[in-house]
Amino acid sequence: MSLYSSSVKNPITTFMIFIGVIVLGLYSLYHLAIDLMPDMDIPTVSVITFYPGASAEDIEVNVTKPLENQLNALQNLKRVTSQSKDNISFISVEFEYGTNMDEASNNIRDAISLAEKLLPDGCEKPSLFKFSSSMIPVVIYGIKARESYAALEKIIDEQVVERLSRIDGVGTVSILAKPIRIVDVRVDPRRLDAYRLTLEQISAAIGAENISLPAGRIEVGRMEFPVRTNGEFPSSEVVKNLVVARNGDKLVYIRDVATVKDTLKHVLVDERINGQVGVRLMVQKQTGANTVKIARLVRERMAELQKNLPHDVEVVPILDTSEFIQSSINNLTETLLYALLFVTLVVLVFLGRWRATFIILLTIPVSLIAAFIYLYLSHNSLNVVSLSALAIAIGMVVDDAIVVLENITKHLERGSSPMEAAVFATREVGLAVVASTLVIVAVFFPLTLVGGITGVFFRQLGWIVSITITVSVLAALSLTPALSSLILKSNLYYQARPNRFQAAVTRVWDKVDELYAQLLQWALRNKIKVLVSAFFIFFLSLMLVKYIGKEFTPAQDNGRININMELPQGIRIDETRALARDFENLVQKKYPEVRMIATSIGTDEGGSLMSAFQKAGSYIINFNIRLVSVEKRNRSIFEISDSLRSDISRYPQVSSFYVDPGGTRSAMSAAFSGGGGNNFDVKVFGYNINETNAIAHQLADYMRSQPGFRDVTLSRDPERLELQVIPDREKLARLGLTTTQLAFAVRNRVLGSTATKYREEGIEYDVIVKYSDDHLKTVADIEDITFRSPTGALIRVGDVARVEQRFTTPNIEHENKVRVVKITTALSGIDLGTATNVVERKLKTLEVPDGVFVEIGGAAKDMADSFKDLGLLFVLILILTYLVMASQFESLREPFVIMFSVPFAITGVLLALFFTKTTLSLISGIGIIMLIGIAVKNSIVLVDFTNLLVERGYPVFQAVVEGGKSRLRPILMTSFTTLLGMLPLAVFKGEGSETWQPLGITIIGGLFFSMVISLIIVPIIYSLFAQARARREEKRQAMLAKA
C-alpha cells in the first residue's frame, strides 16, 4: 500500500509518527550546545622547542631545520611554517582538512624522535601543542584595584580562581599580568667591592640563613619530641639584618651593602583597564562544553564573588565570547520567526482558506524540527550556520505541501469526497513532487562533500537543507493528505460558503492569470524580439561583474577593535606607558562608542608559551577596545578604525601600528571569531635576509602609498641592537675561568638570581638578589661588573671580555623550509581581487633577485582556492540537476529548456549585488549554487504541465498559454514563500547579520529575476523546440508519403 493511502486510512498513526518526530526534535534541541560556528577541528599542530641562550640564527640552523626536515615528510601535510626567535623555535604543522589529528600527532611524535638525535645538547625536548576550539577564552575579565593592588594576586587566587574552576565545564582559569610580590635585594657594587664581597656571597648568605630542617626526634621520659632547627624568616624584615661576612670583629650586614624591599616585582608588563591598574582573568572551557552556558555560569558566579571582594576591587568584562554568539543566535531566531510569518501570509493570500493554510504551515515545524535530531545525533551545535540553513529551508519546505494541497483542492472542487480526493490527488502529483525534491537534494547534497575551510560552512548547510526537504516531502505525501481528508470540506456535497476574503482573493488572482496569459500570447508572437532583448540583458549583466567587489567572507561588526602600536625598540617601559595613558585619554574623550579599553604592555615572564603566539615587549602596546552594541552606535568598527588610524598617525614616536577591527589578526582568534576585516598577505621567500628585506620593504612602501591598504606590517622585525659580552677565552683560561662562569656572573647581576623563597601563610615569595638599577646604566657598568675566580681573586668583566653593540635578527620565519618575510595588511575600501592586482602590477616593475620569489597569500589565497572549489561545485551541480531532470522527464530536450532559467538567475544575482553594493563572496557563491535548484524548480513545474497538455492533444501554442496560466499561481506561491522566507535574512541588521545578508540578497535577486524571466522565456524556448520537432515530423511524414 502506498504511503499516502495508508496514511489517509490510518490518520492517527500518521499524526503519532510526526508528533514523535517533533518530540524527539524538541528533546534534541534542549540538549544542543550553542556555539558560533560548527565544530572546526583546526588541523594544526605546533612543535615548540626551547634552546636557552641561542640566538635566532642558531635556533634556525640547529633546531628548526632538522625538525622541519623530518616534519616535511608527513602525510596529508599542507604546509610547515616556523619562527625561530631567541631561545625558542616554534614550528606549526598544518594538515589538510579532514586529517585524523590523533594519527597526525603520533606521526609528528615519530618524526620528532628521529630529529632529536640531531638537536644540540642543552636543547630541551620538543613539545607538541595542539590547537583546539577550547583554547579560545570564553570570558576574559579585567580586575581593577587601587589600594588592594599589591595583594591582588592572593585575593584573586583564593577568592576567584578556585571558585570559578569548580564550575562544570570550565577548563582553566588563569591570571595574566598579576602583580608578583618579591623580596627585592638591590646590591650596591661599590660597597661590595669595598668589603671585597661578591653578589654570589650575598645570595649564598641569604640562602643559608633561611632554613628549617628536621633533626630527628628525642625521647624524654614517656614522651617523644621531634627536633627541628628553624631559621625560616618570620618576616621579610629579617633579610636586611642578616650577616654576610665578618670584617675583623665587625659584622657586615646585608643592609650595609644593599637595600632590601618587600615589594612588587619590577615587571615589564603594564596592564590597564580603562586606564586603571589591574590584571586579566582568562577563563577557558573544556573541549565540547557549551560556551554560552559556561559563560552564563561564570557570570553568575562572578557576580556572587564580587560581593566578597574588597571595595576597591572592580571586575570589568573585557571579552565575553558568548555575548556575540547569543546575540547572533537571537537575531537568527528572530529572522526565522519573521520568515515563518511571511510564509504564512503568502500562503494565506494565495489560497484564501484558513484550513488549507494551516495544513501547509504544519509541514514547517515538522521538517525544521527534524533538523535538530540530525544536529543532536551528529554531535553538532546550534550555531550560525545551522540556524541560517533553517532560515533558508523555511521557504522551501512548504513547496511540496502546496503542490499536493492544490491538487487535492482541485479534486474536491470536481466533487470527490475529501478522503478519496486526498488519496488520488496525491497519487497524481506524488511523482512530480518527489522529482522536484530530488533536484533540490541534488543541489544541496554535494555541499556536504566539500572539504577545507569552505566545507565548514557548506557541510551543515547541505545536510540540514537535504534533511528538511526530504522530511518535508514525506510530510507532504502523508501528513498533508491525512489532514486534508479530515479537515477539508468538499465543495459540492457540503456547499461550503466561500467567505468574502476568499472570494476577493480568487477574483484578484483570476485577473492576474488573465493578464499573464495575454502577456505570454504577445511574447509568443514576438519570440525573436523577446529572446534577443533577454539575452542582451543577460550579457549586459555579465559586464557588472567588473564593478562588484570580491572578498572571501563578508566582514563582520563584532564590536571589538584591537590596536597594536610599536615604538622604537629598546625604549623604556615608562615612555611606552606614558604614551599608552595619553592615547587612552584621547579615546575615552573622543569616542563615546567605546565601552571599555584594556591596555597591555610587555610580556609576562612566565608566559613563554604565549610569547610564541603573540609579539610582545616593552616597546609594544596592545589595546583591546570594546564598543557598545551595533544598534546603539552609528559608526561601524571599520569607520571607527579608520578614524583611530588617523589619530594614531599623529603620534610621532609610534614607529608602526595596526588597527584591527574585529580582532582577527592574531592567529588564534582569526580561525574562530569569524569577524572583522580581511587580511591580505604578501610573502617574500628567499634565503638572503638583506635581499628579501629590500623587496619586502619596497612592496610595503608601495602598498602604504596606495589607497585602500591599511596597517601594512612586516613579519620580520627590524634588526635589534644588542649589548653582547664577547669573552676573551685566553684571558679567561689564564685565570682558570670558563665562559659559562662569566655568563652566569653577568646574568646574576643584570637579571638577578633567586636566593631563597620567603614563606608567608603558605605562599612562597622569591627573594631576588641583583645589582641596583643605579649601577646598571651604561656600557661601562657592564664592564665594571666584578666576580670571583676559583683562586679567590676579584675579576672585572672588562678585563676578560669586550662589551659590544651588535645588530641581530630577532626572528626568522620559514614556510615549507624556505625563509619568508610576510607583509600583512588590512584592506579598507578595496576588495581582495583589486589588492592582488595592485601588488602584481608593482611586482612586474621590481627587479627580483635570483632565489627570491613572491607569493600572494592570506585570505587572498583562501579566496582563490574556495572560488575554484565553488566553480567546480557549480558545474557538478549543474550536471547532477540535468541528470535528475533528464531521468524524470525521460527526455534530453526538456531539461535543456528548463536550464535556461539558470543564466537569468545569475543576471538577477549580479543586479542585486550591484545595486545593494554587496560583494561577491563565499556566501553569495553558495547563494548562486543554491539558486540552480530553486530556479530550476519553477521551470520544471511549468514545462511538466505544458508537456501534459500537449500530450492531451492541445496544440503547442494553446498548451503553452494554458499551461502557463494554470501553473502561474503555484509558481508565484512557491517562489514568494522562498523569497519572503529569505527577506529577513537579507534586510535585518544586527550582530552577525553581515555573514548571511549576501546570501539573502543573492537568492532574492536571483530567484525574483529568474522567476519573472522564466515565466516568459521558458515557454518561448519550449514552443521553439516543439515547432522544430513538429516540422521534422512533417518532413518525415512527407518522406514516408513519397516513399
Partner 1 sequence: MKAVFIAYNQAISEKVDQALKNAGIRGFSKWQDMMGAGSHNGEPHLGTHTWPALNSGLLTIVDDAKVEPLLMEVKKINQVAESQGIHAFVWNIEQMV
- Residues near partner 1, by CB under 8 A: 411, 414-417, 419-421, 424, 427-428, 431, 492-493, 948, 951-952
Least CB distance from residue 947 to partner 1, whole Å? 8
Q: How far is the CB of 439 from partner 1 (least distance, A)?
A: 17
Q: Where are the beta strands (DSSP E) in 801-887?
A: 801-808, 811-815, 818-827, 853-858
Report, in Å, the least distance between residue 490 CB and partner 1: 9
Beta bridge partners of 261: 184
Q: List b or e across 12-44, with b for residues whose CB sees 16 or more CB atoms inside 10 angstroms.
A: eebbeebeebbebbeebeeebbbbbbbbbbbbb
What distance in Å separates the CA atoms of residue 540 and residue 550, rounded to the nearest whole number?
Answer: 19
Least distance (Å) between residue 470 CB and partner 1:
23
What residue has cell string 543566535?
A: 329
If the CB atoms of residues 650 and 952 are measured against partner 1, the closer one turns out to be: 952
In this structure, what C-alpha cell is assigned to residue 205? 648568605
Residue spans of beta strands (DSSP E) within 602-730 = 620-627, 656-661, 679-685, 709-714, 720-727
Residue at grid coordinates 527577506: 983
CA distance 727 to 1034: 105
Q: Is 618 exposed, middle or buried (0-12, 13-18, 19+ CB in 10 A)?
A: buried
What's the maximum distance between 2 C-alpha atoms anywhere in the chain? Answer: 143
Sign for the CA dihedral angle at 505, 508, 510, 513 comes to negative
How far is it, in rounded angstroms, from Cα 630 to Cα 10?
52
Q: How far is the CB of 420 from partner 1 (least distance, A)?
A: 5
Main-chain phi, psi angles of 251, to 5 degrees: -90, 140
CB of 963 to partner 1, least distance (A): 13
Q: Are 197 and 244 in contact (CB under 8 A)?
A: yes
Distance (Å, rounded) from C-alpha 596 to C-alpha 142? 10
Nearer to partner 1, 418 or 727 (CB): 418
3-class state of residue 130 by DSSP? strand
Tell me the C-alpha distance between 700 and 150, whole Å.
Answer: 45
| Per-residue cell: 163 | 571558585
Q: How far is the CB of 357 from partner 1 (least distance, A)?
A: 24
Q: What share of the chain is helix, strand, coil (3-state, %, to 5)?
A: 60, 20, 20
HEC assignment per residue over 539-592:
HHHHHHHHHCCECCCCCECCCEEEEEEECCCCCCHHHHHHHHHHHHHHHHHHCC
d(CA 742, CA 750): 12
Q: Contact 443/392 with Cβ under 8 angstroms?
A: no
113: closest CA among 100, 125, 129? 125
Q: How far is the CB of 996 from partner 1 (least distance, A)?
A: 39
787 vs 201: CA distance, rounded Å: 10
Between 476 and 563, name the residue whose CB sits nearer to partner 1. 476
Question: What minimum distance in Å lies between the beta carbon of 493 and partner 1?
Answer: 7
CB 468 within 8 A of CB 394: no
H or E element in which residue 933 lies: helix 922-951
Minimum gap (Å) between residue 291 Cβ and partner 1: 53
Distance of closest approach, residue 429 Cβ to partner 1, in angstroms: 8
| Helix runs in 132-222, H state only | 152-156, 162-165, 189-194, 199-209
Nearer to partner 1, 746 or 956 (CB): 956
Residue 324 exposure: Cα atoms within 13 Å on the Cβ side: 24
